[in-house]
Chain A
Amino acid sequence: MRFEYTIEAGNFTKAGDASSSFKKILKQLNVDPQIIKRIVVSLYEGEVNIVAHANGGKVICDVDTSRVHMQLIDIGPGIPDIAKAMQAGYSTASAKVREMGFGAGMGLQNIKNNADELIIKSEVGVGTQLTIIVNLNKE
């Protein structure tokens, strides 16, 4: 099953809407609550990064019996140094965004800690693509 969501740049009143909708679907599909938590933490952080740092984008969530596969694709500006962006505490968030309590530089770490797999591809001037995989079956 595939679920798609559009993410608007800079629109913080809608940040989290995709994650909330997808959480409801996962609940209906009877996914384990602890696994749902890990999926939505990952999705939320990726979603908010598109709102805060990118020029907009979309999320594609594929669910099968064994895993949830999420792609977060934005249309730029891209991440110049992915290793640096992954460091806890590193953030380029604007003053306005920080005032709201975002910009601690912890979002990508949260994804890494909650996902079974995280792949980040980015090209400056083109965009960023996150692939996040969470397995549905507990080992």
Chain B
Amino acid sequence: MQVKDIIATLNLTIFGGSQGLTHEITGGYTSDLLSDVMGHAENGKIWITLQTHKNVIAIASLKDLAAVILIKGLEPDADMLAQAEEEGIPVLGTMDQAFETTGKLFNLLIR
């Protein structure tokens, strides 16, 4: 499954980084602690978080994550978005909170 294939089902907003919509998804990782993600999220994971600053993209790019989903209607900071465009990491948004978003993505991926 690719990032673009979950947009409609999870009702996600695409903020930017759409060059990366063809990234293959290997799973998800839900965390707001950056060094937790750095240490434990693997290639191709979708990162679900409430952090909206540029360092999120630095980590997503260094770890080759598939995309970032911002929860609870949060929007990326301008420099996060600029970096996402440059690195080709999709930044997506949902009105749901972390629990629901994680659950929905999990269900979608285990099918």
Task: Point out residues on A near B: beta carbons under 8 Å.
Answer: 12-13, 15-17, 19-20, 23, 33, 37, 40-41, 44-45, 48, 100-102, 104, 106-107, 109-110, 113
Main SS class of interface, A: helix
Q: Give A109's nearest chain B residue, CB to CB.
A: B39
User: Closest CB of chain B to A108's CB: distance in Å?
Assistant: 9
Task: Point out residues on B near A: beta carbons under 8 Å.
Answer: 32-36, 38-39, 43, 49, 51, 53-55, 58-59, 61-64, 79
Contact A106 to B61, CB < 8 A, known contacts A12-B53, A101-B51:
no
- Complex contact B34–A110 (CB within 8 A): no
Complex: A125 Cα to B54 Cα, angstroms: 31
Q: Give A39's nearest chain B residue, CB to CB.
A: B62
Main SS class of interface, B: helix
- Complex contact B62–A20 (CB within 8 A): yes
Task: List, in ascending order, chain A residues with CB within 8 A of B63's CB.
Answer: 37, 41
User: Closest CB of chain A to B98's CB: distance in Å?
Assistant: 13
- Complex contact A16–B55 (CB within 8 A): yes
- Complex contact B38–A45 (CB within 8 A): yes
Q: Give B77's nearest chain A residue, CB to CB.
A: A13
Contact A20 to B38, CB < 8 A, known contacts A13-B54, A100-B51, A100-B55:
no
Contact A23 to B62, CB < 8 A, known contacts A15-B55, A16-B55:
yes
- Complex contact B35–A106 (CB within 8 A): yes
User: Closest CB of chain B to A43's CB: distance in Å?
Assistant: 9
For the complex of A and B, the 6 pairs showing the least CB-CB separation, nearest first, are A16-B58, A106-B35, A110-B39, A104-B33, A101-B34, A101-B51
Task: List, in ascending order, chain B residues with CB within 8 A of A23's CB.
Answer: 62
